[in-house]
């Protein structure tokens, strides 16, 4: 695909000046933006364009979200049509696109689910925490089943509760103290097993750790366990196949809800529509976002199993309804765009393509094991990680500056990659999550650029 419009340096200059004077950016240090910025003005397929004409291959699909790729005019048409017909009405009433989208999600999940719409992945998890708590109040009156069990080094969002659920100390430090309602257990990160064990002789010590925590906390105080099937942010930790079924069994054994975070993992990212479908489990609560609309519109949802939904069903006087609301939930324009996005995914078999191209990219990355600095290569579908180390024997992570150098080298050579890791002390992984429409030639370019980055920065 070619760049649609000519670069415009005057626009760029004016954007940079006004932005630096008035915008407060997330997570990046403003001082750095004074010398180096991307002013993204257009995008097509897997490529974004700076106003100065520079093209970047976006190997992260934005923030792990532009699954069908950039620049699909059908989605602009759907949004315009829907805005003309019905731009908005609160979701206390019904609307056509939201009903169509919920129906589609139910089908994709295999049936038996209701969908509650929100606007971001954080909100989807947050709504799930509240639904789990309310469910427990209905089902176990007089008891206090409110805790969420979560894994260290997980990321579940940016609001206070989702941050608390997350397990990255460095991300949380500036906002402490937290509520203490989120109890953390060991992460299934086999390359850096927290128990120093190896699979399969470990006999899933990480699952035993969860059970020990449930018993230690008191099962009658626990509402749910939240898991992202493949932990993305820490560096794409793919657990053993038995892990998620074993966690699901614990949930059944102790009467705890299983809350699966599919915010990144969902919508074809891992080679199936949802990552939990690799493992044959049927979660009670599922948070979805990002790929639901490929980020063409902000929309997300908490999907609840009908057994949970039933607990919210009754006469008005029983006061069992979902006791939360948000202004934009079920937004007809966002829902119409999301539905068409999913139809495109299905028509173009993008989940299958993710499995196929992911295997190709993984194979290319495995070739980089020739470098001593590459400690591990892993992934599922088009969710991949290249873990870099100072020393293969000790697995000592790269310093943040070294890892940043690899990311910067790639950017200077026109490829945008991500960086994962649990902060300064745990892991140092290059993450890849490109649009599912990425081509073989683009995969080759990612591998080639990383090859040169590792070699030329003498991390080796
Ligand atoms: C696994 C996971 N859950 C939840 C979120 C939060 O989503 P959002 O940024 O849309 O609030 C993210 C964001 O990256 C995520 O990676």
Q: Is the CB of 122 under 6 A from ligand 1?
A: yes
Q: What percent of the chain has pLDDT over 70?
A: 98
Residue 310: pLDDT above 90?
yes
If pLDDT is split at 50, 70 and 90, which confidence band does 424 have?
confident
Residue from 26, 64, 127, 289 to probe ligand 1 pocket by mutation (most atoms less than 8 Å from CB): 289
The CA 263 to ligand 1 mean position distance, Å, reads 6
Task: Give the nearest ligand 1 atom to 154 CA.
Answer: 1
Q: Which atom of ligand 1 is nearest to the CA of 122?
A: 11
pLDDT (0 to 100) of residue 224: 98
Which pLDDT tens digit goes with each residue over 333-347? 999 999 999 999 999
| Mean residue pLDDT across the chain | 96
- Please tell me the distance between residue 233's alpha carbon and the centre of ligand 1 in angstroms: 9
374-385, pLDDT tens digit by residue?
A: 999 999 999 999
Please give the pLDDT value at position 426.
85
pLDDT of residue 180 exceeding 90:
no
Q: What is the mean pLDDT of residues 390-407?
A: 93
pLDDT at 220 over 70: yes
User: Residue 162 — pLDDT band, cuts 50, 70, 90?
Assistant: very high
pTM reported for the whole predicted model = 0.98
What is the whole-number distance in angstroms between the Cα of residue 127 and the centre of ligand 1? 13
**DSSP per position, 268-320:** TTTSSSSGGGGTT---SEEEE-GGGTTTSS--EEEEEEHHHHHTT-S-GGG--
Half-sphere exposure of 316 (CA within 13 A, CB side): 0
Residue closest to 289 by CA, chosen among 107, 72, 66: 66
Q: Whose CA is nearest to atom 3 of ligand 1?
A: 156
- Which residue's CA lies nearest to atom 4 of ligand 1? 156
Cβ of residue 261 lying under 6 Å from some atom of ligand 1? yes
Q: Which atom of ligand 1 is nearest to the CA of 289?
A: 10
Question: For the CA atoms of 4, 9, 13, 14, what is the dihedral angle to 10 degrees?
Answer: -60
411-423 pLDDT, tens digit each = 999 999 999 977 7
pLDDT reported for residue 8: 83
pLDDT of residue 374: 97
**Separation of CA 275 and ligand 1 centre (Å):** 15
Task: Name the residue of 125, 263, 292, 298 whose CB sits within 8 Å of the most ligand 1 atoms, as the mutation to test its pocket.
Answer: 263
Mean pLDDT over 249-263 rounds to: 98
How far, in Å, CA of 296 to CA of 50, rounded? 19
pLDDT for 1 beyond 60 = no
Confirm or reject: Cβ of 165 under 6 Å from ligand 1. no
Distance 4 CA to ligand 1 centre (A): 31
Of the pLDDT bands very low, low, confident and very high (cuts 50, 70, 90), residue 7 is confident
In the sheet that holds 257-261, the strands lie side by side as: 113-118, 300-305, 285-288, 257-261, 222-227, 147-151, 182-185
119 lines ligand 1 (CB under 6 A): no
Contact (Cβ atoms closer than 8 angstroms) between residue 245 and residue 168? no
The tokens describing 143, both together, are 């008891």
Q: Which two tokens stand for residue 74?
A: 């059908």
Shortest-distance Cα residue to atom 2 of ligand 1: 156
Centre of ligand 1 to C-alpha 163, Å, is 10
Q: Is the pLDDT of residue 141 over 60?
A: yes
- Of 285, 242, 246, nearest to 262 by C-alpha is 285
pLDDT at residue 460, rounded to an integer: 59
In this predicted structure, the answer to whether residue 5 has a pLDDT above a threshold of 80 is: no
Q: Tell me the average pLDDT across 235-264.
A: 98
Cβ–ligand 1 distance for 151 under 6 Å, the answer no
- What's the pLDDT band for 53 if we cut at 50, 70, 90? very high
Instruction: Compute the distance between CA of residue 303 and CA of residue 348 in angstroms, rounded to an integer.
Output: 25
Residue with tokens 């100390």: 169
Cα(162) to centroid(ligand 1), Å: 9
Q: Does residue 155 have its Cβ closer than 6 Å to ligand 1?
A: yes
Residue 165 confidence class, pLDDT cut points 50, 70, 90 = very high
Question: Residue 113: what pLDDT?
Answer: 98
When comparing pLDDT for 343 and 170, which is higher? Answer: 343
CA 370 / ligand 1 centre spacing (Å): 34
Which ligand 1 atom minimizes the distance to the CA of 120?
A: 10
């Amino acid at each position: 695909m070619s760049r649609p419009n000519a670069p415009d340096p005057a626009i760029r200059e004016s954007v940079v000046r006004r932005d630096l004077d008035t915008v407060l950016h997330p997570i990046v240090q403003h001082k750095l933006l004074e010398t180096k910025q991307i002013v993204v003005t257009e995008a097509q397929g897997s490529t974004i364009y700076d106003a100065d004409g520079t093209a970047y291959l976006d190997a992260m699909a934005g923030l792990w979200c532009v699954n069908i790729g950039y620049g699909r005019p059908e989605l602009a048409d759907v949004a315009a049509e829907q805005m003309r017909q019905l731009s908005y009405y609160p979701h206390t009433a019904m609307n056509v696109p939201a009903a169509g989208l919920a129906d589609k999600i139910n089908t994709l999940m295999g049936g038996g689910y209701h969908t509650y719409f929100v606007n971001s992945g954080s909100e989807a998890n947050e709504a799930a925490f509240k639904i789990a708590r309310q469910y427990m109040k209905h089902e176990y009156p007089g008891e206090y089943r409110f805790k969420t069990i979560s894994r260290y080094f997980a990321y579940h969002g940016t609001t206070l509760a989702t941050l608390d659920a997350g397990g990255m100390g460095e991300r949380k430090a500036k906002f402490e103290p937290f509520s203490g309602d989120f109890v953390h257990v060991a992460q299934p990160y086999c390359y850096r097993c927290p128990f120093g064990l190896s699979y399969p002789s470990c006999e899933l010590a990480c699952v035993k750790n969860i059970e020990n925590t449930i018993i230690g906390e008191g099962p009658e105080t626990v509402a749910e366990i939240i898991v992202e099937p493949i932990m993305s942010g820490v560096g794409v930790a793919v657990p053993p196949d038995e892990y998620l079924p074993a966690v699901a069994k614990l949930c059944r054994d102790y009467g705890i809800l299983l809350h699966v975070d599919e915010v990144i993992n969902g919508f074809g990212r891992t080679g199936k529509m949802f990552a939990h479908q690799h493992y044959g489990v049927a979660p009670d609560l599922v948070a979805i976002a990002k790929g639901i609309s490929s980020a063409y519109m902000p929309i997300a949802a908490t999907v609840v199993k009908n057994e949970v939904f039933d607990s919210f069903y009754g006469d008005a006087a029983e006061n069992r309804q979902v006791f939360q609301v948000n202004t934009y939930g079920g937004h007809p324009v966002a829902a119409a765009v999301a539905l068409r996005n999913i139809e495109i995914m299905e028509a173009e078999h993008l989940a299958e393509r993710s499995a196929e191209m992911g295997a190709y990219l993984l194979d290319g990355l495995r070739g980089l094991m020739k470098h001593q600095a590459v400690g591990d290569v892993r992934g599922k579908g088009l969710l991949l990680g290249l873990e870099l180390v100072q020393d293969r024997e000790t697995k000592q992570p790269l310093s943040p500056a070294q890892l940043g150098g690899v990311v910067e080298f790639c950017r200077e050579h026109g490829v945008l990659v991500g960086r994962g890791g649990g902060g300064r002390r745990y892991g140092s992984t290059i993450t890849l999550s490109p649009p599912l429409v990425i081509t073989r030639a683009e995969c080759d370019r990612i591998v080639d650029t990383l090859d040169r980055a590792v070699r030329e920065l003498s991390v080796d």
